[in-house]
Chain A
Amino acid sequence: MSPVKTPLVKLSAIRKSFGPVEVLKGVDMAVEEGQVVAMIGRSGSGKSTLLRSINGLERIDGGVIEVDGECVDPGQIDLRALRQKVGMVFQQFNLFPHLTAGENVMLALKVVKKQDKATTRAAAEAALAKVGLGHKFDAYPSQLSGGQQQRVAIARSLAMAPKVLLCDEITSALDPELVAEVLGVVRKLAEEGMTLILVTHEMRFAREVCDRLVFMHGGRIAEQGPPAELFDRPSTPELAQFIGMVEAR
């Protein structure tokens, strides 16, 4: 890490309230290109809200978000440039049910990137092949398993060639036997150098794949560092307790 290198994603003093409840109390965080960062913490700790603010799905009340030169601040409305650089995968897949897997991937390429038919088709085929679903191009979401749907959702994001991919508890809605196929895809992306920010409850996966673990507690980052260090020597009682809880499961 050279000191002059500017981070790909930089969050400064992010604040967000839902009514009277302040869920983010001034969060600073930086993610460098190629890093894989997992955010962990109890529900209500603000990790999902923080993740969703990075592409403007949650409007922040204070602070600045910068992604590869694109800024979001509380007053900004036009998020198109930023969102082309930030992909997002959701817990509930959110595939478009009226379109086939291939059309799901092609839609934004056509509409947002204005690519021609042949280019979008090739890009969609490549993206689906990458997640191991090249043969499901013409299948509708309702004809796919949860794991397959989530892999299509990943392909849909990847086809837009984002700089960073946000994953919001992407295995939490899956049956246990389907979790591995989705995590396998994420692991492959990490190995290929994709910048990833994940909110996850898969502690073993976080430990194996991530460069850095961010533990959120009460709307702040309570602790962060390499996974092994955090798991083996948590320095806050909150993290120690959290690890105790998840490992007891």
Chain B
Amino acid sequence: MLNFTLWDILSNLLLAARWTVLLSLIAFVSGGVAGLLLLVARVSPVPPLRVAARLFIEVFQGTPLLMQLFIVFFALPLIGIETSAWTSAAVGLTLFTAAYLAEIWRGCVEAVPKGQWEASASLAMTFPEQMRHVILPQALRIAVPPTVGFSVQVVKGTAVTSIIGFVEVTKAGTMITNATFQPFLVYGLVGLIYFALCYPLSLSAKALERKLNVAR
């Protein structure tokens, strides 16, 4: 029987952790862009856009992430789109992130006083101009801490993609466990890696919150 050193295990986990980080970044950035579009639709003066955005958000907030990944992974091939575990994971997490960020940001937009909408409307600004120049710059200040806080959820969400066969740090942990028969050690290390990724994010969310509160 082969023997594995601690370094063998850890180095393989760290290699797989690259994919956790990369997937998190992709999901967060593209989810952020999609979330912004979704937010604009959600607060727009056009009723069909509002309803569609709301429906999207409700569906993704009201179902488990795992099920969303299953649907992307198994359903897309049925309609003729071939997907890899990679693509499915990226698409699924992006949609999930977009729905949550849109809803977090909607709260921030609604925290901007109504008078700001009225004053900018009185100056003949259109909805996109109001958003771009008056509302979003103010909402952004409020949005930074909860957005960074949510990025922790995205990192942890990547673990679920192991179930559709994407090899990130959790999946690598399972594979290494199967070879080493040391689940406690391996999953303990996996947990530490997640903590090392998430804890700095939580800390910076708290620091940003304090900083932006003082600046007011």
Contacts and interface: CB of A to CB of B under 8 A. Distances in A.
Given A55-B122, A108-B120, 14 more contacts: A57-B122, A79-B124, A86-B122, A88-B118, A88-B119, A95-B119, A96-B119, A96-B120, A98-B137, A98-B141, A112-B124, A157-B122, A157-B123, A160-B123
B51 interface: no
Contacts of A80: 124, 126
Q: Which 5 A-B pairs have the closest CB atoms?
A: A94-B119, A108-B123, A83-B124, A94-B115, A88-B122
Interface in B113-144: 113, 115-116, 118-126, 129, 133-134, 137-138, 141
Contacts of B133: 107, 111
Interface string A181-198: 000000000000000000
A56 B45 CA distance: 14
B128 to A, nearest CB: 10
Contacts of A17: none
Contacts of A75: none
A160 B138 contact: no
Contacts of B119: 88, 90, 94-96, 153
A52 B115 CA distance: 12
B135 to A, nearest CB: 10
Q: Give the bracket for the number of chain B residues in contact with chain A.
A: 10 to 19
A67 to B, nearest CB: 12
A83 B113 CA distance: 21
Interface string B125-168: 11001000110011001000000000000000000000000000
A183 to B, nearest CB: 21
Interface string A83-110: 1101110101011111000000001100
Interface residues of A, number: 25
Nearest to A86: B122
Nearest to B141: A98
A188 to B, nearest CB: 21
Per DSSP, chain B at the interface is helix
Find the residue from B123, B125, B137 having the highest chain A CB count within 10 A.
Answer: B123
Contacts of B138: 96-98
Nearest to A96: B134
Nearest to B45: A77
Contacts of A94: 113, 115-116, 118-119
Contacts of B141: 98
A163 interface: no
Contacts of B116: 94, 96
A156 interface: yes
A83 B137 contact: no
B124 A160 contact: yes
Nearest to A108: B123
A157 B124 CA distance: 11
B129 A112 contact: yes
Nearest to B122: A88
Nearest to B119: A94
Interface string A24-54: 0000000000000000000000000000000
30 contacts: A56-B121, A57-B118, A79-B121, A79-B124, A80-B126, A83-B121, A83-B123, A87-B122, A88-B119, A92-B113, A92-B115, A94-B113, A94-B115, A94-B116, A94-B118, A94-B119, A95-B119, A96-B134, A107-B123, A107-B133, A107-B134, A108-B123, A108-B124, A108-B125, A111-B125, A112-B124, A112-B125, A153-B119, A157-B122, A160-B123
